[in-house]
Amino acid sequence: MGLKSSAIGKEAYGIVSCPYCKSLLIADTGYRSKSCFHCGKRFQLNDRPVLGSGRNAREARELLSKMKAQADQR
């Protein structure tokens, strides 16, 4: 099983950070691992905290955009 379903309920996509470069990424909850688009390294999803989640890819992408915008303001 991928991301812990108890952490995100029935959400299909979770937002996690890459443990290597700290980039925020959208991860499909059905998978166990993910490759980072920024640094190219693969990591286990069940080891990462879920920072946000969405019912579908569009919802997760909108949330990720908001999270990145907030991070840029700091």
User: For the chain, where are the alpha helices, taking DSSP H only?
Assistant: 5-8, 57-73
The enclosing H or E element of 16 equals strand 13-17
pLDDT in tens, 46-59: 989 999 999 999 99
Q: Where are the domains of the chain?
A: 5-67
- CA–CA separation, 56 and 38 (whole Å): 22
Of residues 57 and 10, the one with the higher pLDDT is 57
Q: Give the position of tokens 């309920």.
A: 9
pLDDT surpasses 80 at 5: no
pTM of the model: 0.79
As a whole-number percent, the residues of the chain with pLDDT over 90 amount to 74
